[in-house]
Amino acid sequence: MTNDDTPDNSHRRPDGVDDATVEALGKLSEALETVEHARGQLYAFHRLTGAADLALGEAVDLLRAAGHDEIASELNEELVGRNVIEGRWTFQIVEDYDDGYYSAFRQAEASARALLADGRRHLFEAEMKEDRRTHGRRGHEARPSGT
């Protein structure tokens, strides 16, 4: 294996880090990735809810223009701009999630990596890549050329 066909230093296990630690940090990384996915879904919920509220406003205007003032007024008063949960629009839910759980999770994961693996990320996956790839074959390089 040539020097060009090895992982970069940031994806090599530091001296003294054992298999159990790499596996545990890999599972912690997996958990963080799930939290990242959940955060994306929360942002999707935020955007979809906002789009629904804007479309609802348009529907109210169209109903009013079609002469259905009573239904339009009821929808406008009951639903347009309504909180999705007690006292909150979705942006407030997103902010609470980001500032609380998400922030704490990211910090805890980074702290564990710093304490146990010199802050290196994705060691479990990097070692899996080394195990699974075909060394020396095009498309299976350890890293981009020139790095």
User: For the chain, what is the mean pLDDT?
Assistant: 95
DSSP tag of 139: T
Percentage of the chain exceeding pLDDT 70: 97
Q: What is the per-residue pLDDT across 100-141, written as a single tens digit (0 to 9) for each? A: 999 999 999 999 999 999 999 999 999 999 999 999 999 999
Q: Identify the band that residue 1 occupies on the pLDDT scale cut at 50, 70 and 90.
A: very low
d(Cα 13, Cα 127) in Å, to the nearest integer?
A: 8
SS3 content of the chain, % helix, strand, coil (to 5): 70, 0, 30
**pTM (2 d.p.):** 0.85
Residue 71 has pLDDT above 70, yes or no: yes
Residue 3 has a pLDDT of 59
Buried-exposed string 116-128: b where 16+ CB fall within 10 A, e elsewhere: bbeebbebbebbe
Q: Helix, strand or coil for residue 13?
A: coil
Q: What is the per-residue pLDDT across 20-38, written as a single tens digit (0 to 9) for each? A: 999 999 999 999 999 999 9
